[in-house]
Structure 1
Amino acid sequence: MTQGETVATTFGSAVGQEIGAALAAVDAELAARYPGDPGTRQPVHTVYVPGDVFAADTVRTWGDQALDLLDRHAPDAAALAAVLDLPAGLADAVHDRVRAKLEREPVEDLRIDFEDGYGTREDAEEDHDAARAAALVAEACAKADPAVAAPYVGIRLKCMEAEVRDRGIRTLDVFLSGLMAAGGLPAGLRLTLPKVTYPEQVTAMVRLCEHFEKAHGLPTGRLGFEIQIETSQSILGADGRATVARMIDAAEGRATGLHYGTFDYSACCGVSAAHQSMEHPAADHAKAVMQVAAAGTGVRLSDGSTNVLPVGPTEQVHSAWQLHHRLVRRSLARAYYQGWDMHPGHLPTRYAAVYAFYRDGFEQAADRLSAYAAHAGGDVMDEPATAKALSGYLLRGLDCGALGEAEVTGRAGLDRAALEAFAAPRRAALTTTR
């Protein structure tokens, strides 16, 4: 057959129109429910600080304490590599970047805790702490200095269960109202709803967001929130149905993340304290359900934390660092690109694990994406879905500081805009056709 030659067909245009009409509702639902990743930066961790402990210098203090631990227990690249078993070729780059990160932007996401880490207080005390938190956040965000203000910040309120519901709602109100009085909501605002057991509790949070937006003339959808998966009911309902997807649906587009709660979920499942861990089979099951439910929705995932702290003599610090580093690498390999950090001493190993993860695979990812973009082939036959994964990997490496834009562009031959187009081909196609 020569180009341009007429081919035989059976279906008339009316058939295609009929099929299109029959699937129009499905098309609309797919677009609404599965918009894909938002394409914005995702922090590599969330640091939790109790509401009464949070201070104006919390971010800088955490960074300084982390630097002090690094200097005392792994003062150079060789020492850090020996502790964490880093490949020799990565040690210098990782150590240098970790140090620079702790000086420049020690905390990427800060959550001021008014739940378990804060406990039950007198109403006047919690009111005071919530108002103080709002004032400090507003002041820090106005400076726009990542060395003292985390790019993402917000609160974890008490859950929607009856005994603490009113207090949680009031704390949310005090905090958000304080931000508005101080000049408005920061761009990186994050709210966390813990211990969700029923989708109706998520819907209740949606209604609160709507009321606040309407009262202050904010755009609909300005407030979003993370859902913490900390109970067995958040994975499997009383009726035997999987629950996470129903919770995402109940959020009506406001869910920004699903955060796994290591210790509450483990305890709920009857796991003894000595075996409560991010890598327990119960944890892996819950996180696999979360992952499938969130896929394609734009709702991001966060793993939990370890409660083993790097404190004490060097040997003890090294042991805690080795555990934390291994757990973070394990999460990254399982596509959990964010997790909780509970102590300043976790910051060196958080960033060491993240940076080693992206630098270790950088050249191969850049080369494969470059070959795919040039239709050059190679020893791996990649598809569009793999190109999407490769570009997402490089973008995450750029966002956290593991990679530099010049080295990525130099190796892959693609700038950030090109990487973003590969990472979100559907969004790029829509933009092109408009």
Structure 2
Amino acid sequence: MTEPGEAPGRLPGSVYAAADARLSEVDAQVAARYPGERAGRQPVHTVYVPAHRFSGGVVERWGEQARVVFAGHGDALGLEPGIADRVRRKLAVEPIEDLRIDFEDGYGNPGDETEDADALACARVLVCSPGTPFTGIRFKSFEASTRRRGIRTLDVFLDGLGGELPPGFVVTLPKVTAVAQVAVLVDVLGTLEAAYGLAEGALRFEVQIETPQSIVDADGRIAIASIISAAAGRCVGLHYGTYDYSAALGIAGAYQSMDHPAADFAKAFMQVAAAGTGIRLSDGSTNRLPVGDAVLPAWREHLRLVRRSLERGFYQGWDLHPHQLPTRFAATYAFFRENLPSAVARLRGYAAQAAGAVLDEPATVRALSAFLLRGLDCGAVDEDELPFDRAWLRARATP
């Protein structure tokens, strides 16, 4: 029994010191590997435009096409008036959040001379008028048959940029079949930074998860965790590739989709591997395009798939056609608007330490705060609707 004035417990100080000594190195490793959610905005989508179709004014053209089709068919979706109004404003002001100029599947193999010319021309257009908060290119994979072409496209594109990276610039590494490909990309990017006078670490990349080998490697290990390690802090995103991944598993074309069980399996691995690292996730695309007589059926399918991704914690996806923009924003806005009242009420209760129907822990408060920040960033929520400012939310969204 502890006497008055005595410290409780019977362990000597040496036990505490020994635990600290044994775990100090691990503490540092965990802190470095899992810094938590990265600060700043995450786009709700990435729009892929083949390099040979990219030119000045592409953002405005996509916005105009999206506005026209929404004006003609949008009423049939039965959106709430407030959601529809927000979609119209978004399409007028910022129809594309993240633009990826595609030198891979959407571009093909036109030959070295043509690809060099296109890489240079696209870079020069991007310098003059990026038009989006986030930009980048997808180059060819680092597999043997395309590796040299992929590296050269990166080099020529940076030459066209003149040593000045556009806002939110990232590059995309597709079809990873070995972790070593990621390690080699890290070395190549470091060399390119030195060659073009860029700051160390300025060139960041996303990895497309579109091969079975990027989920489980040849030795049966979880490859995504190794990919993140090999990226040496340069990887900022993992993007699921719906059709390459499905085809690699032998899934018949009619059943390849974002909501196939095989897709959910891969994305669950992505989610677990990236949790806490600051690496952001993106779901893939649907190839069912809302064109011609298929506008409304394809829109309803897109609304369902985008909503499904959001509910599963994938706040970003791919869009491949201007007509997909209205439903991308409609689904996103509806998701944030529907959950806005409860998120605000729960944060108010937590801030006031009030007992309510839900007892939230600090981890949930971080998620609620991040949710509202995402809503603000994409235009689903207005600042004057919230009793908290961005600084308050950011402070609570950070571990």
Shorter-chain TM-score above 0.5: yes
How far off is 1:33 after superposition? 0.5
- Which residue in 1 is equivalent to 2:17? 17
Instruction: Find the aligned partners of 2:58 and 2:195 in 1 and give their Cα distance.
Output: 32
Q: Is the 8 A contact 1:127 1:171 kept in 2?
A: yes
- Which residue in 2 is equivalent to 1:165? 147
TM-score, normalised with respect to structure 2: 0.97
Q: Is the 8 A contact 2:179 2:226 kept in 1?
A: yes
Instruction: Find the aligned partners of 1:218 and 1:27 in 2 and give their Cα distance.
Output: 32
| Equivalent residue in structure 1 for 2:345, among 361, 364, 367 | 367
Q: Does 1:222 align with 2:202?
A: yes
Instruction: Find the aligned partners of 1:261 and 1:116 in 2 and give their Cα distance.
Output: 11
Instruction: Find the aligned partners of 2:96 and 2:5 in 1 and give their Cα distance.
Output: 63
Q: Is the 8 A contact 2:369 2:393 kept in 1?
A: yes
The residue identity in structure 2 corresponding to 1:380 is: V
How far off is 1:6 after superposition? 5.4
Q: Is the 8 A contact 1:156 1:193 kept in 2?
A: yes
| Equivalent residue in structure 2 for 1:139, among 123, 128, 135 | 128
Q: Does 1:342 align with 2:320?
A: yes
Which shows bigger deviation, 4-13 or 265-274? 4-13
The residue identity in structure 2 corresponding to 1:134 is: A
Instruction: Find the aligned partners of 2:109 and 2:260 in 1 and give their Cα distance.
Output: 30
How far off is 1:7 after superposition? 4.1
- Which residue in 2 is equivalent to 1:59? 59
- Which residue in 1 is equivalent to 2:99? 110
Cα gap change, 1:97/1:18 in structure 2, threshold over 3 Å: closer, same or farther?
Answer: same
The residue identity in structure 2 corresponding to 1:61 is: R
Instruction: Find the aligned partners of 1:210 and 1:134 in 2 and give their Cα distance.
Output: 20
How far off is 1:200 after superposition? 0.3
Instruction: Find the aligned partners of 2:353 and 2:223 in 1 and give their Cα distance.
Output: 42
Q: Is the 8 A contact 2:340 2:372 kept in 1?
A: yes
How far off is 1:14 after superposition? 3.3
Q: Is the 8 A contact 2:77 2:296 kept in 1?
A: no
SS, match of residue 297 in structure 2: helix
Q: Does 1:261 align with 2:241?
A: yes
Cα gap change, 1:6/1:370 in structure 2, threshold over 3 Å: closer, same or farther?
Answer: farther
Instruction: Find the aligned partners of 1:139 and 1:6 in 2 and give their Cα distance.
Output: 72
Structure 1: gaps (5+ residues) = 142-148, 426-434
How far off is 1:111 after superposition? 0.4
- Which residue in 1 is equivalent to 2:69? 69
Q: Is the 8 A contact 2:243 2:256 kept in 1?
A: yes
Instruction: Find the aligned partners of 2:365 and 2:263 in 1 and give their Cα distance.
Output: 30
How far off is 1:153 after superposition? 0.7
Instruction: Find the aligned partners of 2:196 and 2:285 in 1 and give their Cα distance.
Output: 36
Q: Does 1:421 align with 2:395?
A: yes
- Which residue in 1 is equivalent to 2:264? 284
Q: Is the 8 A contact 2:186 2:232 kept in 1?
A: yes
Q: Percent identity?
A: 56
Detail structure 1 runs of 4+ shifted over 6 Å in the superposition: none
The residue identity in structure 1 corresponding to 2:236 is: T
Q: Is the 8 A contact 2:51 2:122 kept in 1?
A: yes
TM-score, normalised with respect to structure 1: 0.89
Q: Is the 8 A contact 1:309 1:343 kept in 2?
A: yes
Instruction: Find the aligned partners of 1:218 and 1:73 in 2 and give their Cα distance.
Output: 47
Instruction: Find the aligned partners of 1:74 and 1:202 in 2 and give their Cα distance.
Output: 43
For residues 265-306 of structure 1, the C-alpha deviation after alignment (integer angstroms, 9 at most, x for no partner) is 000000000000000011000000010000011111000000
Q: Is the 8 A contact 2:209 2:245 kept in 1?
A: yes
How far off is 1:5 after superposition? 6.5
Instruction: Find the aligned partners of 2:328 and 2:206 in 1 and give their Cα distance.
Output: 21
Instruction: Find the aligned partners of 2:120 and 2:14 in 1 and give their Cα distance.
Output: 63
Cα gap change, 1:18/1:272 in structure 2, threshold over 3 Å: closer, same or farther?
Answer: same
